[in-house]
Amino acid sequence: MSAPGLAAALALKSLGNRRGTALLTLLSITISVALLIGVNQVRREARSSFTNTLSGADLIVGARSGSINLLLYSIFRIGNPTGAVSWDSYQKISSRSDVAWTFPISLGDSHRGYRVLGTDENYFTFYRYGGGRGLELADGALFADDGDAVIGAEVAAKLGYEVGTPIVVSHGIGAGSFAEHDDNPFRVAGILERTGTPVDQTVHVTLAGIEIMHGADVADADHEHDDEGGEGHAEATIEPEIITAFVVGMKSRAALFGLQRIINDYRREPLSAIIPGVALTELWGLVSTAETALLVVSGFVVVAGLLGLLTTLLTSMNERRREMAVLRSVGAGPGMIFALLICEAAFLALLAALAGVALVHLGLLLSREVVLETFGIALSPGLPGMFDLLVVSGVTLAAMLIALVPAWRGYRNSLADGLTVRI
């Protein structure tokens, strides 16, 4: 057997013999690697999930606000709308000759914790996610009248709804909102295919449906709505006074910036038009500091794990002087003692890092459901990628570098001790 091969074989056996301490060291490295990989994985998944949520839309228009805010509340249902857009402005912009299509978004109500979104048929025609896929019905049909609701896959699955189930909408968001619009229950008309986007957690109704529901509310005088919407309630008109936001698709992207400027300078009311991709980039810019901080912290945890390995190896050096003398007596050179210790560290770190990678990917696979429900982030059960490979080889290499310290000490010891077995 070649000398490196023999050193490697002995290192494996030696590790196996000290599996108690070796396992603890391994565990600490595994956890640290899992943390690092996990942070990176979730970061990446979150990004791709956000990026995949809306595609093909050119502009999102809402009341004047920051672009990130508008993007978050209109598309990702995160946070609350800061204002509204008048129906009049919506009509004017959507009828422009350079606009191909639009769909309105009207938020503010909820059903058992799921957001209710008022819109029209264009939503189902033009909404694109995951790089161009459109919404598909899994069951039932789209809106036939204003009492119909089309629900996302998650809503249907979690609440056990089928086509025909009547649902009652609450004002405000949250599972136990005080005011329920129970005089005008909706009926589930259709259930959408799963998309892995916030659409899955949304109850879609028509704009008129929302108006009728709110009109009935006002008659009951149970509660008050936003000031802005107050007047509309009394009449219960089919056309809404206001909507929360709308999404615009252009005929030609060349006119995109022109229209964006026109909307941003709109005289009648203060509006903001944002380009989704640009807003997302802004969002990443905002969170990247936090992401970097998390990655750096995780990196230091890995360093701490490796220092644990160093401690374990160094403390074992004294009790292993006898072992080294025995190896020397049967013909091992000091170089072999050196190689043995490096191999031990490398094996331990490699195993730990691989276990860390496996832990993360298994964990993500098992927690997909929960993460999707809680955060609306669709984790793709991807195979370990370049980053994982980089971390595994990096950690192994770092362990070998760190092991130079005990290996050098072992080398020196074995030169000084020779065949003398020190007890």
Binding residues vs other proteins (CB under 8 A): 1, 3, 6, 10, 13-14, 16-18, 322-323, 325-335, 418-421, 423
Q: How far is the CB of 384 from other proteins (least distance, A)?
A: 31
Residue (17 or 125) nearer to other proteins, CB? 17
Nearest distance in Å: CB 342, other proteins? 17
CB contact set of 296 (below 8 Å; sequence gap of 6+): none
Task: Count the Cβ atoms, other than its own, within 10 Å of residue 325.
Answer: 19
Give me the least distance between CB of 323 and other proteins, in Å please.
6
To other proteins, the closest distance from the beta carbon of 372 in angstroms equals 47
Residues in contact with 9: Cβ distance below 8 Å, sequence separation at least 6, in sequence order:
1
**CB of 254 or CB of 330, closer to other proteins:** 330
Taking the least distance from each CB to other proteins, the nearer of 59 and 327 is: 327
- Look at the alpha carbons of 230, 235, 241, 242 in this order and tell me if their dihedral is positive or negative: positive
Comparison of 215 and 335: residue with beta carbon closer to other proteins: 335
Taking the CB of residue 388, how many other CB atoms lie within 10 A of it? 23
Quick one: 172 or 333, whose CB is closer to other proteins? 333
- What per-residue string of b and e applies to 131-166 under the rule 16 or more CB within 10 Å gives b? eeeebeeeebebbeebbbbbbbbbbbeebebebebe
- The CA distance from 322 to 312, in Å, is 17
**Strands, E, within 89-206: which ranges?**
99-111, 114-119, 128-129, 133-134, 137-140, 148-151, 166-167, 170-171, 186-192, 202-206
Q: Count the Cβ atoms, other than its own, within 10 Å of residue 284.
A: 15
Q: Is 132 left (phi over 0), alpha (psi -120 to 50) or beta?
A: left
Considering only CA atoms, which of 37, 40, 28 is closest in space to residue 348?
28
Smallest gap from Cβ 400 to other proteins, in A, equals 21
**Which is nearer to other proteins, 6 or 159 (by Cβ)?**
6
What is the token pair recorded at 24?
């603890």
104 token code pair: 């309105």
The span from the CA of 370 to the CA of 378, in Å, is 10
**Least spacing, CB of residue 25 vs other proteins, in Å:** 16
CB proximity list for 227: less than 8 A, separation 6 or greater: none
Least separation, in Å, of the C-beta of 155 and other proteins? Answer: 59
Distance, CA of 187 to CA of 189 (rounded, Å):
6
Residue 45 vs 323, nearer CB to other proteins: 323
CB 353 within 8 A of CB 33: yes
Residue closer to other proteins (CB basis): 286 or 416 = 416
3-state percent helix, strand, coil for the chain, nearest multiple of 5: 55, 15, 25
Q: Which residue has the tokens 């000398």?
A: 3
Please check whether residue 244 is in contact with residue 107, taking contact to mean a CB–CB distance below 8 angstroms: yes
Token pair 């909706």: residue: 186
Integer Cα distance of 391 and 21 in angstroms: 23
Least distance from other proteins to the Cβ atom of residue 412, Å: 14
The least CB distance from residue 1 to other proteins, in Å, is 5
Minimum CB–partner distance for residue 418 and other proteins (Å)? 4
Question: What is residue 258's three-state secondary structure?
Answer: helix
Closest CB to other proteins among residues 288, 420:
420
Residue 335 Cβ vs other proteins, minimum distance, rounded to whole Å: 8
User: Smaller CB distance to other proteins: residue 58 or 323?
Assistant: 323
**Of residues 365 and 416, the one with the C-beta less far from other proteins:** 416
